[in-house]
Amino acid sequence: MDCKSLTFKLLSGQDMPLIGFGTFQIRGRSLIKDVLDWALACGYRNIDSAAVYGNEHDIGLALKDLLPKYKLKREDIFITSKLSPSDQGDRARNAVANSLQNLQCGYIDLYLIHWPGASGTPTNSTENAKLRDASWASLIKAKEEGLVKNIGVSNYMVKHLTELLNNCYGVKPAVNQVEWHPGCHEAQLKKLCQKEGILLQAYSSLGGTGNKSLLDDPLVESIAQKLNKTPAQILLRWAVQQNIAIIPKARSRERIEANISLDFVIPDEDMVALSNRKSERYAWNPHSVK
């Protein structure tokens, strides 16, 4: 079992690595190059970014140097970016083009609507639904033009995803990236994604930060000790073992390597115990967006 080679066949037929490298809150040309260098060295081939992360340009510059270093071609790397809520609507196609210009990578493998709402629009406004519908139509144009190979969504709950599937202009979302960990996982959402062939991708796999982190959870710690793994590895493996994609971020070489070293199995009883942990959402709550 080599987790580095695990992939999911998207609706387009393209294979997407199940384990990706997240870059949220990682900025600065030197730091970006260092972490991507370490990530590529230990086997990551999936890089996740977003317009609002402010690091697309530095990622593009880093890859120009690093791909030749590891004898990799553009098609060996899977790159994801996301639509800023400020570009929700008819501007979405141009936002893809802008991300592509920043990344300087020829095409983007996956582009997601980052949030079901729009900047400056109240969460309870029906205008959000109109704008994300316009965004989807615009992303289809970008896909048809070859700017992006796959399009999808992020932070879409069952109601948002059902709405999109009922009016997707013949193009289903390839991926739905949501907060997903033992304290936050909705069975109905997972069931819907599986039924429609949509890859469920987790962010915030380790929970929150500081005293809100799941890394110090007694149950997680006990399973980690039993299996001689780190708490982070347990939380990441919990998702991968369910065929859910992950995008852990890290700034140190040691943690970057550990996060992709998931070639072990969590016993069934421990998987159940983790899944039965109390409900706890650490990031944003998309349920509030109408």
Can you read off the two tokens belonging to residue 224? Answer: 């980690």
What count of other Cβ atoms lies within 10 Å of the Cβ of residue 190? Answer: 18
287 is in an annotated binding site: no
Catalytic residue among 44, 53, 111, 203: 53
Strand-pairing partners, residue 21, are: 47
Active site residue 107: no
Q: Could you tell me which of 185, 217, 160 has the C-alpha nearest to residue 281?
A: 185
Report CA torsion sign: 187, 195, 10, 284.
negative
Amino acid identity for residue 84 in this structure:
S
Q: Could you tell me which of 281, 204, 272 has the C-alpha nearest to residue 238?
A: 272
> What span, in angstroms and rounded, lies between the C-alpha atoms of 230 and 237?
11
Alpha helix ranges (H) inside the chain: 29-41, 56-69, 92-103, 127-144, 158-166, 187-196, 218-227, 231-240, 253-260, 268-275
> Residues marked as binding?
114
Which residues are annotated as catalytic? Answer: 53
The annotation places the binding site for substrate at 114
